[in-house]
Structure 1
Amino acid sequence: MRSLLSQPTDKEVKMKPHDRSKQIVNRILEHAGITVNGSRPYDIQIENSKTYARVIQFGSLGLGESYMDGWWHCKRLDQFFYQLLRNHADRILPANIPDLIYALLMRSTNMQSRRRAWIVGREHYDLGNELFEQMLDSNMQYSCGYWANAVDLEQAQVAKLRMICDKLGLKAGMTLLDIGCGWGGLAKYAAEHYGTKVTGITISKQQQILAQQRCQGLDVEILLQDYRDIRQQYDRVVSVGMFEHVGPKNHAEYFKVAARALKEDGIFLLHTIGSNITSNKVDGWVHKYIFPNGNLPSARQIAQAAEGHLLMEDWHNFGSDYDKTLMSWYANFCRAWPSLAADRKYDERFKRMFTYYLNCCAGAFRARDIQLWQVLFSLNGVEGGIKRYC
């Protein structure tokens, strides 16, 4: 069988650029078992023939933007991305210039410097508390739930919070630092159920405001602060869904800061999305529209960055649970859309953007293309080891 991207035949060379682009895209989709204008839920319906050239020219950015512009649609985007990624069709598409440029920048530039670290706060987490309040659970957890014994999003997120607190061995009177505290859900839960004194830091002003309101009356402090400015020590340190914004050039410093923040017998829990491979490659569409300057760490990057600073006690992967979490968020987003659209802050293009984001991520986790890890660390090793949660 001829390679999907092998040298074109004489007949193909004579094709018009549009026809050649269409042929390449169709081959890639066929490799994933997807049919253009087919009848299955994961088959895509092309409304604008310029989609083919846009995908070939701009890769993932072109695919996402053409969807946002209404050039194509699909009944089940989550299944579409599952098909693509499970069959590794994403590896067939040639690298495009925007992605190559960003990969080079990642190697030569600190894309998550102190100055740039605040960008994702402004552009994503400050989209509006009303959006996230309606999409998330009552604890406003914008990270993977734990579905082992849960039947809905609410139960899954409470189970995740309880699991984190139990893994850390939280007790009344302990101090806890939450790096990237979001809207304060974990801080509130730890203070209420474990009697812990919590300090949370975030780079989102909107998150800080709501977190302070939600934690009012509790022994909780929410600071607008970069993690590199942490100076105090705590009994326990936790970081949920924040390490993805740190960037490879700052991984070692991040672990240095976490170690410095721990008391001698302290424990640190890292909850992060992870990449199967070590790479500077990022999805061009996600970088532009969802998480600017983000980069998923690999297991090797985490281990290497932690070495010399912290001792790894436990590694837990429950990445498949993120699929259920994202699809629950998407269901909530769809139910909330009429009220969200009513104030005219969010338009139809935003709806398509967020629909694409939630479904492509769900498909990626379902295909096991990306992972979700909880890693426990200590400074010098816990005598007798740490009791496994699962």
Structure 2
Amino acid sequence: MSGLQSQPLDAHQQTRGLPARVQQMLANADIRINGSRPWDMQIHHPRTLSRIALQRSLGLGESYMDGWWDCKALDQFFYRLLRHGGDSVSQARWQVVLQWLGQAIFNRQSLSRATKVAEQHYDLDNHLFETMLDSSMSYSCGYWRNADTLEQAQYNKLDLICRKLQLEPGMTLLDIGCGWGGLLHHASQHYGIRGVGVTLSEEQASLARQRCRDLPVDIELQDYRKVQGTFDRVVSVGMFEHVGRKNYATFMKHNARLLKRGGLMLLHTIGNNFNSHRHDPWIDKYIFPNGELPSIRQISRAAEPWFVPEDVHNFGPDYATTLRAWDDNFCRHWPQLQERYDQRFYRMWRYYLNCCAGAFQARDIQLWQWVFSKPGEQRQRYTAAR
């Protein structure tokens, strides 16, 4: 690659001129430049650190994609950064202000913009996801209690959701953001429900229809705001991260209309530790455009007029284990994938999986399952499955 050097650069040469705040951040996180430990940075390009200092998160990610630096244990690199305040320098102040203004003025997840993440990410290639995920094609956090494999962890997660929803034969289940149909397939096969799934991804919809073709399940290429009818149960797994704060109230209000009296709704979502208008520039550009992580307060405020929270369950650390399993699968199957994707994509995808794994391990972000009922109903005490 043009501009790369075959030998690691001297640490003093790399840190010369680096802003003191970034230099201190690396030292606080116990990350050494060209060190011998798995989480240490191996620098290949003389402008790597200045690029990171100037462009923050975007510079860190793009310089890795360009092969300017390496790290044997990327997940541990990010774990250490985030545990020691690395997110505080991920963006310049002017970037934060621009994000705040953008979110104040624009609805980044409007109907016209909602398909962008499907087109850029979920429509990439079903073969890519088939090699990375388990047989259920679950692209969300597995539940690793009493599980030693990704397959078992995802089965546990799907069954946990069905038990929390108290599914019974003949019930109707709406799955908002149904992905490749794994939950509906499981719920129909094991609990006897009739299901409807909606997604904005054409690739997901096509494969989900194939996988559920012998079951009483319909898959629609549709925005959640356009769904009509009523259902005994409503579920959304790993989709709320694409809803956006301007639409949280709309999401809850519309789902309340779709849910029959006496029904339950389960919301499975990644969450932020605090209210924030910030989003990571690298993730927003390359992985999940227009994504936004809700806080627990934002979810509860949006749900308050329409739902009663029956249960909140956090198993965020399980996502770190899930992401590492996906990374292992991706690396193992890369020889099959490299005919379709180049080396820059390989580095981008591994960076994505490992930076997220580090963030969950550091408890910088969370994974929640909420169970909601409708207010004013005479319901026996709800006992959540675990």
With normalisation by structure 2, the TM-score equals: 0.94
- Which amino acid is 2:36 matched to? S
* Structure 1 residue 56 displacement after superposition: 1.8
CA contact (8 A) 2:22 2:89 kept: no
What's the % identity of the aligned pairs? 55
- Which amino acid is 1:387 matched to? T
Q: Once the two structures are superposed, what CA deviation does each residue of 1:183-239 show, in whole Å capped at 9, x if it has no partner?
A: 000011111111100000000000000000000111000000000011210000000
The alignment yields a C-alpha RMSD, in angstroms, of: 1.6
* Structure 1 residue 94 displacement after superposition: 5.7
Matching residue of 2:154: 157
The answer to whether residue 29 in structure 2 is matched with residue 29 in structure 1 is: no
Matching residue of 2:174: 177
C-alpha separation in 2, matches of 1:377 and 1:29:
43
Matching residue of 1:10: none
Matching residue of 1:386: 382
**Any unmatched runs of 5+ in structure 2?**
1-12
* Structure 1 residue 151 displacement after superposition: 0.6
CA contact (8 A) 1:31 1:89 kept: no
Matching residue of 1:374: 369
- Which amino acid is 2:385 matched to? Y
- Which amino acid is 1:302 matched to? I
Distance 1:325 1:65, change over 3 A: same
C-alpha separation in 2, matches of 1:21 and 1:100:
24
Moved more, 356-365 or 56-65: 56-65
Matching residue of 2:118: 121
- Which amino acid is 1:231 matched to? Q
- Which amino acid is 2:296 matched to? A
CA contact (8 A) 2:15 2:23 kept: no
Matches within 5 A, 1:1-390: 19-21=16-18, 23-92=20-89, 95=92, 97-342=94-339, 345-380=340-375, 381=377, 383-390=379-386
- Which amino acid is 1:355 matched to? R
What's the secondary structure of 2:102's corresponding residue? helix
- Which amino acid is 2:323 matched to? L
- Which amino acid is 1:63 matched to? L
C-alpha separation in 2, matches of 1:292 and 1:99:
16
C-alpha separation in 2, matches of 1:233 and 1:382:
20
CA contact (8 A) 1:58 1:97 kept: no
Moved more, 168-177 or 18-27: 18-27
What's the secondary structure of 1:21's corresponding residue? coil
CA contact (8 A) 2:14 2:49 kept: no
C-alpha separation in 2, matches of 1:88 and 1:214:
44
* Structure 1 residue 388 displacement after superposition: 2.1
CA contact (8 A) 1:107 1:280 kept: no
C-alpha separation in 1, matches of 2:240 and 2:91:
29
CA contact (8 A) 1:319 1:372 kept: yes
* Structure 1 residue 385 displacement after superposition: 2.0
**Any unmatched runs of 5+ in structure 1?**
1-15
C-alpha separation in 1, matches of 2:262 and 2:189:
23
